[in-house]
């Protein structure tokens, strides 16, 4: 039992007794050994590690079990995986909506022995951003799967490293005269983060978002930031006054403490892309030797208007790979267009991709593909050009779709282009932001566009010169995003909207390639559904 981060007495899921889970630090080239013990009483656990390729040990990535096969209550599962790329990453529960309940943390990988980062910094801070609801995740899940539909609504609190304020103003916290509940209780979880800095130094802020829903914007009063890393990949450094960050993404920015050292400055985090009903999260940049109780003179930076999408697009369009980064292959072997729509299935509200709403099978894909268990999932290739005659600017003419669990089977090592095509949701004039996250690979972001993607016109505009490599990318309302990846990682990989309730409502697809080359599927990943232990024993004897 934890205190919830907003001083209310409620349950937060933790890892090793901590919320958020421990920040795991490693060096590129290290092998991380994980002993995952599930101490929950009622449900399984799976942990997904962003940015980890996991060749050969797919379980650790979580992918094998993005179906119902998880570490059961009371069980322990040991596994190891290699971290081969320096960067800022996140890890989180990937079973049901456990991430929303607090099952997450940071993974920070330093450069390998004798290697250097392509930028200099004197110190660093880790800011893991999330959002928080008072309603339990279980109640949220029930509401999302009910008729009539009950949406989770906007978060009550934004959290920085698991701490946030609710009904207790941050300013009051810093003044000793406050009578607010948090200060009176002296509750650790309500205390805001303070970033103590020395003047005239450069700090690396590692900023990652693990939000359930919120798209965020971060700004530091009177300071600019230079973005140098995105999702564990170096980018061509560029300066910004504020930055957008979507769920699943991580960045490193450099901040130079070149302001008046007799003052402190606010760092603010606010909601974008949805009409906000959540106060900004605030934290303090505390210049030495100024006392941390001295309030900034300047008010906190104002978050750009939630629907100023041009502002967001301009940030996304500034992100390019650092010179010398790997370039994409010049051509792709296959183009898959994924049309994102909001739909009804039997009157329930869902999201669908090419008119199929992802409902995971009870047998993990990895085992069912490897052992050709044809009845374990839908063997038909899902559609890949459903968007042809579809008007993305209007609600669906026929809003009905169906559940499915088919797999996009990719040839090993082929180059795949994915066009994520956003559309109008069920309500007129509504199209939402969706950050899409790919397991097991990085992809190049070749471009963004408005309206419907047109191969003839838009492919010519793809950036093949210096597209950024990422594992998460956003689609803007009524727009498309093009990405390219090489299917060079044998396994079964989820690709989905990182907004937790949207995945729950079916917004995802599954890619598979080279599964015949995966030889070390752990027993635990085969321990349920049709691959359950007895079945496996029988097939092994045959």
Q: What is the distance between the alpha carbons of residues 395 and 428, in angstroms, rounded to a whole number?
A: 6
Q: Which is nearer to ligand ASC, 151 or 310 (CB)?
A: 151
User: Residue 474 Cβ, how far from ligand ASC at the closest point, in Å?
Assistant: 14
Sign of CA dihedral 112, 113, 117, 120: positive
Q: Nearest residue by C-beta to ligand ASC?
A: 151
Nearest to 356 by CA among 408, 397, 317, 315: 408
Nearest to 180 by CA among 168, 188, 192: 168
| Alpha-carbon torsion, ordered 393, 140, 357, 499, to 10 deg | 60
Contact between 225 and ligand ASC by CB under 6 A: the answer reads: no
Where do the DSSP E strands lie in 374-529?
402-404, 408-409, 415-421, 434-438, 443-450, 469-470, 472-475, 479-486, 491-497, 508-513
User: Residue 337 Cβ, how far from ligand ASC at the closest point, in Å?
Assistant: 22
Q: Which is nearer to ligand ASC, 432 or 458 (CB)?
A: 432
Q: Which is nearer to ligand ASC, 212 or 332 (CB)?
A: 212
Residues 463-502 that bind ligand ASC (CB under 6 A): 501-502
Q: Count CB-CB contacts under 10 A for residue 517.
A: 13
Q: Which is nearer to ligand ASC, 395 or 532 (CB)?
A: 395
Q: Which is nearer to ligand ASC, 149 or 348 (CB)?
A: 149
**Contacting ligand ASC (CB under 6 A), which of 432, 445, 515, 518?**
432
User: Residue 463 Cβ, how far from ligand ASC at the closest point, in Å?
Assistant: 29
Nearest to 511 by CA among 530, 496, 531: 496
Q: How many residues bind ligand ASC (CB under 6 A)?
A: 8
Q: Is 398 helix (H, G, I), strand (E, B) or coil?
A: coil
Q: Count CB-CB contacts under 10 A for residue 259.
A: 19
User: Residue 540 Cβ, how far from ligand ASC at the closest point, in Å?
Assistant: 43
Contact between 375 and ligand ASC by CB under 6 A: the answer reads: no
Q: What would the x/- binding string for ligand ASC be over residues 148 to 167, using CB under 6 A?
A: -x-x----------------
Q: What is the distance between the alpha carbons of residues 156 and 395, in angstroms, rounded to a whole number?
A: 30
Q: What is the distance between the alpha carbons of residues 459 and 454, in angstroms, rounded to a whole number?
A: 8
Contact between 425 and ligand ASC by CB under 6 A: the answer reads: yes
Residues 242-271 that bind ligand ASC (CB under 6 A): none
User: Residue 394 Cβ, how far from ligand ASC at the closest point, in Å?
Assistant: 15
Contact between 277 and ligand ASC by CB under 6 A: the answer reads: no
Q: Which is nearer to ligand ASC, 121 or 149 (CB)?
A: 149
Q: Which is nearer to ligand ASC, 150 or 294 (CB)?
A: 150
Looking at the DSSP bridge assignments, the partners of residue 494 are 510
Q: Which is nearer to ligand ASC, 396 or 529 (CB)?
A: 396
Which residues in 34-72 are b (16+ Cβ under 10 Å) and which e? eebebebeeebbbbbbbbbbbbbbbbbbbbbbbbbbbbe
Angle at 215 between CA 447 and CA 507, to 5 degrees: 70
Residues 341-370 that bind ligand ASC (CB under 6 A): 349
Residues near ligand ASC (CB under 6 A): 149, 151, 349, 425, 432, 501-502, 505
């Amino acid at each position: 039992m934890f205190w919830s981060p907003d001083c209310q007495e409620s349950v937060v899921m933790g890892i090793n007794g901590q919320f958020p889970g421990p920040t795991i630090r490693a060096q590129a080239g290290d092998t991380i050994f994980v002993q995952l013990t599930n101490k929950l009483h009622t449900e399984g656990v799976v942990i997904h590690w962003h940015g980890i390729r996991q060749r050969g040990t797919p379980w650790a990535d979580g992918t094998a079990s993005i179906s119902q096969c998880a570490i059961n209550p009371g069980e322990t599962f040991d596994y190891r995986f290699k971290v081969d790329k320096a960067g800022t990453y996140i890890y989180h529960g990937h079973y049901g909506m456990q991430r929303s309940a607090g099952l997450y943390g940071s993974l920070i990988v330093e450069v390998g022995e004798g290697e250097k980062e392509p930028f200099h910094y004197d110190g660093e801070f880790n800011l893991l951003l999330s959002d928080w609801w008072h309603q339990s995740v279980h109640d949220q899940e029930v509401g999302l799967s009910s008729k009539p539909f009950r949406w989770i609504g906007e978060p009550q609190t934004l959290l920085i490293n698991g701490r946030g304020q609710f009904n207790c103003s941050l300013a009051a916290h810093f003044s000793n005269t406050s009578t607010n509940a948090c200060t009176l209780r002296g509750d650790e979880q309500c205390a805001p983060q303070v970033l103590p800095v020395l003047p005239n130094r450069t700090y690396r802020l590692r900023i990652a978002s693990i939000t359930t829903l919120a798209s965020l914007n971060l700004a530091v009063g009177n300071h600019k930031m230079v973005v140098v890393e995105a999702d564990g990949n170096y980018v061509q450094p560029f300066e910004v006054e504020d930055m957008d960050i979507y769920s699943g993404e991580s960045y490193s920015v450099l901040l130079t403490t070149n302001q008046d050292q007799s003052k402190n400055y606010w760092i603010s985090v606010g909601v974008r892309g949805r009409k906000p009903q959540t106060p900004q999260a605030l934290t303090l940049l505390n210049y030495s030797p100024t006392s941390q109780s001295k309030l900034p003179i300047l008010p906190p930076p104002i978050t750009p208007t939630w629907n100023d999408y041009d502002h967001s697009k301009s940030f996304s369009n500034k992100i390019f790979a650092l010179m010398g980064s790997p370039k994409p292959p010049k051509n792709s072997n296959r183009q898959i267009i994924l049309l994102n729509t909001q739909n009804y299935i039997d009157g329930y509200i869902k999201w669908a991709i090419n008119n199929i709403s992802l409902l995971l099978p009870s047998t993990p894909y990895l085992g069912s593909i490897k052992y050709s268990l044809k009845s374990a999932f839908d063997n038909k290739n899902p559609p890949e050009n459903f968007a042809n005659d579809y008007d993305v600017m209007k609600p669906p003419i026929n809003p009905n779709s169906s559940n499915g669990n088919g797999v996009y089977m990719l040839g090993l090592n082929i180059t795949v282009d994915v066009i994520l095509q956003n559309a109008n949701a069920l309500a007129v004039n509504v199209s939402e932001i969706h950050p899409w996250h790919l397991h097991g690979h990085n992809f190049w972001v070749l471009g963004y566009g408005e309206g419907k993607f047109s191969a003839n016109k838009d492919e010519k505009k793809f950036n093949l010169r210096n597209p950024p490599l990422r594992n998460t990318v956003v689609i803007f309302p009524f727009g498309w995003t093009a990405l390219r990846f090489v299917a060079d990682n044998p396994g079964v990989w989820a690709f989905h909207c990182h907004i937790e309730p949207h995945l729950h409502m079916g917004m995802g697809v599954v890619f598979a390639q080279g599964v015949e080359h995966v030889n070390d599927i752990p027993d635990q990943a085969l321990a349920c559904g049709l691959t359950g232990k007895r079945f496996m024993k029988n097939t092994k004897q045959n």
